[in-house]
Amino acid sequence: MKINYDAATDSLYIHLSDRASVDSDEIANGVVLDYDAAGALVGIDIQHASHQADLAKLSVNCLPLTQLDAA
């Protein structure tokens, strides 16, 4: 999983997997979900992210991480 934040546009993209999408759907104003060919959710696009999420804190519990990268 990869989380990209663009501070200049306050946009957050959560790549749930490396798979590309074949379809997308805006489920709320500024929130678009991306689906692969099997209908699985592969990404979440959030606009005005600082108004929709607490970007100052990231808490991870019990994920089976093998690698942690910080940009």
Partner 1 sequence: MLELPIRDYFRDNVLVKRPYIQREWCETAVCDPIRREVQADDGRIRHWIWIDALDRYLRVVTLADGQTIHNAFPDRRFRP
Identify the bridge partners of residue 22 per DSSP, sorted by sequence position: none
The pattern of x and - marking residues 10 through 49 that bind partner 1 according to CB under 8 A reads: -x-x-x----xxxxxxx-----x-x-------xx-x-xx-
6 binds partner 1 (CB under 8 A): yes
d(CA 19, CA 42): 6
Edge-to-edge, what's the strand order for the sheet holding 2-6? 2-6, 11-15, 41-47, 31-35, 23-28
How many residues at the interface with partner 1, by CB under 8 A? 21
**Minimal distance in Å, beta carbon 61 to partner 1?**
26
Q: Is residue 53 classed as helix, strand or coil in its secondary structure?
A: coil
Residues lying near partner 1 in the complex (CB under 8 A): 4, 6, 8-9, 11, 13, 15, 20-26, 32, 34, 42-43, 45, 47-48
